[in-house]
Structure 1
Amino acid sequence: MSDYDVIVLGGGPGGYLAGERLGHAGLRVLLLEADTVGGTCVNVGCIPTKSLLHSAKTYLHALDGARFGVKATGVEADWATMQAWKAKTVKTLVGGVQANLKRLGVTIVNDLGALAGPGRVEVGGSIQTADQVIMATGSEPVMPPIPGAEGRVVDSTGLLAIDHIPERLVVIGGGVIGVEFASLFAALGSRVDVVELLPEILPFMDTDIASRAREGIEGVTFHLGCRVESLDGEPGSSTVHFTDAAGEPQELTAGTVLMAVGRRPRIADSGAAGAGLDIVRGAIRVDDTMRTNLPGVWAVGDVTGRSLLAHAAYRMAEIATAHILSPGQAPPGQRLREDTIPWAVYSIPESAGVGLSEAQAQARGLDVTCAVVPLYLSGRFVAENGVKAPGAVKIVAETGSRVVRGIHMVGTYAPETIWGAAAVLENELTVEDLRQIVIPHPTVSEGIREASWGTP
């Protein structure tokens, strides 16, 4: 008899949710986590950044309150208190995850663990056995070998722990992490520059929405199509040397430089390669049910390279556990559909989307019809933001079938709204189907309905 029914390597969103689902079903589960349960998302990612962004937004609301009839004096950004709020939020959520796992009978061991083969995991120098193993070791920041970068840049974890608001910040990378931090510190008064290699920020976004998002972020100077060549300078003052889009040398000097060029699956020390798992482009290869090439071994979350999002890890964990709990069967609907996984960017303004962009649809050979409408068509949006605030919705639909293939948004409440758009894509609704959905009034989500009526 095996020591456990399931061993889970990694306590991030995919790992702890798998533990919760399996523990709820009464299975004997061992969860291995070298650090703190919650993973990157809860401890040094999604949650702490959203806590600080909420503080920044509250600060901006106070500064801007006079136009809404609320006058405040002596408004200031207290970074120490913001950090304390962030820490309290993280502690509360970590404690909640730990308590729930304990309540469900999951055994937690603070050890990285390493896969030693199907059903075998090395833990603290000994082998623990299980009928099933789930790899959920997450991801880690990418640090490209730029000359002079070592010792002169911080990653997202380091920037979250900074003890002051930087007077000057240079961000290398215009992806989600870079844009959110740029937006945060610009709102708090930092002078911020973002250096991005590609011609537009947030390359996974539809270009219409990405450009509107960029234009709406105040206080940030974006340098697009630029390649960082090297860094130099003294402690506390680093100079970033880069080549601009015209091939001309440029430089920026700042007290803080954030390296935010992305993340990669965490494979090293997990035992994945040595145990014989297929590693493709630095990630564990899985099928749409989260099975690996080894019997009884599954992989979920960032380590699969399929979608480096916490909610995608949740979905992968749900799929894997559904199949583990139904051996020999194929639970209906339990497979990964990457085109229906929504994304969200919590900058100021926020953005969100699901499905294909116009360019992605065309690259697949689809003939599509698109419509972009401004969010000032929403009464609530105007009431809370005015007509000049950045906000828009774009719909991408197949011309013949009229099936909706993508919905993309920028503006207030976009991340809170996009789940409904995901349901539209999950059910392969047409533009005409979407038009028949009753959406509460007044809400910002009405912008999606307006976009459906704007689609030719």
Structure 2
Amino acid sequence: MSGVGHYDVIVMGGGPGGYIAGERLAHAGLKVLVAEAQALGGTCLNVGCIPTKSLLNGAKLYAHALYGEKFGVTATGVSYDWGAMQAWKTTTVDTLVGGVGAMLKRLKCEVVTGHATLIGPGEVEVDGTRHTSEHVIIATGSEPVMPAFPGTQGNPKVIDSTGMLAVEQVPQRLAVIGGGVIGVEFASLFAALGSQVTVIEMMDEICPFMDADVAAALRKGIEGDVTFHLGSTVTAVDDATVVFTARNGEEQRVEADLVLMAVGRRPLVSGWGAEEAGLDVSRFGVVVDDQMRTNLPNVWAVGDVTGRSLLAHAAYRMGEIASAHIIDTAAATKAGQVMRWHTIPWAVYSLPEAAGVGLTQAQASERYGEILTATVPLALSGRFVAENGVKAPGLVKVVADAATRTVRGVHMLGTYAPETIWGAVAALETELSIDDLRQVVFPHPTVSEGIREAVWAVRG
């Protein structure tokens, strides 16, 4: 061990939650150290959100070029270049990673590359160098889950999402184990590029966090050659053949060229001193309150490591809340700076896209008993029809409790859904009622008008 540096705050991890905390704290004039073992930006920026969206954008452009005739645009000799798509992905990632580093440098936030270990409150070691601080923020992120099915260990044809982003060529046949966000986005990506894709999901529907109507519509609307086996349990992998027990109890096999293990991610809670430091860790992740405090004094945790919401934008907000309380806890408390878990939106960037926030119809019924709900097709939006046609998959569903008519959930399927859902988030944050939302003026023509149509369709 060598050297000792003292800081106001040490941030363990440079992913979305960590680097946004570093930015906010340094902007307030605090002396901050961000320790990142690999590259700034974490999973999201390097091997998650950004690279997948870069490749999906290429796949969507390719699909649009192939099927543009009905819009009066005919392209001949349409093809895609996987190598060029990968190069665009790399350029995008490098640009954004560089931007994060430049921002932290401009704010005089010190960044060190190395493995950080929590020694205890106010004490962190980075590759043998001991540092002290008034506060520590843990932002160690998450890792892919790789179940040990027979035939998966050491099998080069079974890869996780990180490996899928780096494949040298598009597989002709792709088997995807897991029908969550990661599995659905990769299935959509490669199906759009011509792969024959099979998705094997143990639950009765894909993306079980979604409202059931939206999940079913998304599954049916995904473009390309995609087959779903729902309610099915994988038992083994033989080379690139997946063996599973189908819903009816029969054993089935899917032959593929490559197998993507996409059963989710889990908080990274080991290997950095959590247990040794006495941190409270449950089976879900590091335990925090709504201000992101852990059980240790002046030790905070944000992002995936908490297990509360494994989404980059949730990590951003957690980092901001922890930072606000470190900077001035009295002011942060007065301003209501707490994590409101029920207003974290989700988004899936498949073809078609989907997004939502709040309670599903089933959850609202369980919590409130009597509810109000309405579902309308996005074909009621002039822009949606102009850009997609009336038969394209798209809908908006609104859920409210009957007693107060307060909006409790908004769920969307179709073009621009992820870009539009923030308005529904604001409605839930401010607890608008169906009647309040009816008074909001939506710009025309926009896909967002689907929300207006849905609230006016509510009866009761």
Q: Same fold (TM over 0.5)?
A: yes
The 5-angstrom pairing of residues 344-363 of structure 1 reads: 344-363=347-366
Aligned residue for 2:379? 376
The whole-number CA distance in structure 2 between the counterparts of 1:182 and 1:98 is 32
Q: Given the alignment, which residue of 6, 9, 18 partners 1:6? A: 9
Q: Given the alignment, which residue of 247, 251, 254 partners 1:252? A: 254
Aligned residue for 1:172? 177
The whole-number CA distance in structure 2 between the counterparts of 1:81 and 1:301 is 32
Aligned residue for 1:76? 79
Aligned residue for 1:223? 229
Name the TM-score, length of structure 1 as normaliser: 0.98
Report the secondary structure of 2:347's partner residue: strand
Contact preservation (8 Å) 1:32, 1:113: yes
Aligned residue for 1:451? 454
Aligned residue for 2:166? 161
The whole-number CA distance in structure 2 between the counterparts of 1:24 and 1:161 is 36
**For the structure 1 residues 288 and 59, does the alpha-carbon distance in structure 2 shift closer, same or farther, using more than 3 Å as the test?**
same
Q: Given the alignment, which residue of 28, 31, 44 partners 1:28? A: 31
**Alignment-mate amino acid for residue 247 of structure 1:** G
Aligned residue for 1:333? 336
The whole-number CA distance in structure 1 between the counterparts of 2:63 and 2:427 is 34
1:359 Cα shift? 1.1
Give per-residue Cα distances to partners, 1:303-336, cap 9 Å, x unaligned: 0011000000000011000000004552412001
1:417 paired with 2:420, answer yes
**Alignment-mate amino acid for residue 181 of structure 2:** V
Aligned residue for 1:428? 431
Q: CA RMSD in A?
A: 1.1
**For the structure 1 residues 282 and 396, does the alpha-carbon distance in structure 2 shift closer, same or farther, using more than 3 Å as the test?**
closer
**For the structure 1 residues 287 and 336, does the alpha-carbon distance in structure 2 shift closer, same or farther, using more than 3 Å as the test?**
same
Aligned residue for 2:136? 133
Report the secondary structure of 2:64's partner residue: helix
The 5-angstrom pairing of residues 373-412 of structure 1 reads: 373-412=376-415
Give per-residue Cα distances to partners, 1:89-148, cap 9 Å, x unaligned: 001000000010011111111112111110011112232100000000000000112111
1:33 Cα shift? 0.3
Contact preservation (8 Å) 2:141, 2:268: yes
1:273 Cα shift? 1.5
**Alignment-mate amino acid for residue 230 of structure 1:** A
The whole-number CA distance in structure 1 between the counterparts of 2:164 and 2:402 is 46
1:210 paired with 2:212, answer no
Report the secondary structure of 1:452's partner residue: helix
Report the secondary structure of 1:293's partner residue: coil
Contact preservation (8 Å) 2:370, 2:401: yes
1:63 paired with 2:69, answer no
Give per-residue Cα distances to partners, 1:260-306, cap 9 Å, x unaligned: 00000011112112101100114000000000000000000000011
The whole-number CA distance in structure 2 between the counterparts of 1:371 and 1:327 is 41
Name the TM-score, length of structure 2 as normaliser: 0.97
The whole-number CA distance in structure 2 between the counterparts of 1:136 and 1:231 is 34
1:367 Cα shift? 2.2
Report the secondary structure of 2:316's partner residue: helix
Report the secondary structure of 2:119's partner residue: strand
**Alignment-mate amino acid for residue 380 of structure 2:** L
1:425 Cα shift? 0.2
The whole-number CA distance in structure 1 between the counterparts of 2:334 and 2:325 is 7
**Alignment-mate amino acid for residue 389 of structure 1:** A
Contact preservation (8 Å) 1:267, 1:282: no
1:366 Cα shift? 3.6
**Alignment-mate amino acid for residue 168 of structure 1:** R
1:368 Cα shift? 1.2
Aligned residue for 2:280? 278
Contact preservation (8 Å) 2:36, 2:115: yes
Give per-residue Cα distances to partners, 1:236-279, cap 9 Å, x unaligned: xx110000000000000111100000000011112112101100
Contact preservation (8 Å) 2:267, 2:305: yes
**Alignment-mate amino acid for residue 86 of structure 1:** K
Contact preservation (8 Å) 1:322, 1:331: no
Contact preservation (8 Å) 1:284, 1:304: yes
1:400 Cα shift? 1.3
List structure 1 segments (4+ residues) > 2 angstroms apart after TM superposition. 362-367
Aligned residue for 1:143? 146
Report the secondary structure of 2:8's partner residue: strand
Question: Larger deviation: 277-286 or 325-334?
Answer: 325-334
The whole-number CA distance in structure 2 between the counterparts of 1:327 and 1:259 is 42
The whole-number CA distance in structure 2 between the counterparts of 1:85 and 1:410 is 27
Contact preservation (8 Å) 1:2, 1:131: no
The whole-number CA distance in structure 2 between the counterparts of 1:101 and 1:387 is 47
The whole-number CA distance in structure 1 between the counterparts of 2:80 and 2:196 is 15
Unaligned runs of 5+ in 1: none
The 5-angstrom pairing of residues 303-342 of structure 1 reads: 303-329=305-331, 330-342=333-345
**Alignment-mate amino acid for residue 263 of structure 1:** R
The whole-number CA distance in structure 2 between the counterparts of 1:7 and 1:366 is 46
Report the secondary structure of 1:283's partner residue: coil
Contact preservation (8 Å) 1:37, 1:97: yes
Aligned residue for 1:241? 243
Question: Larger deviation: 363-372 or 255-264?
Answer: 363-372
1:115 paired with 2:121, answer no
1:197 paired with 2:199, answer no
Contact preservation (8 Å) 1:49, 1:160: yes
**Alignment-mate amino acid for residue 215 of structure 1:** K
Contact preservation (8 Å) 2:20, 2:319: yes
Aligned residue for 1:88? 91
**Identity percentage over the alignment?**
65
Aligned residues: 452
The whole-number CA distance in structure 1 between the counterparts of 2:350 and 2:97 is 24
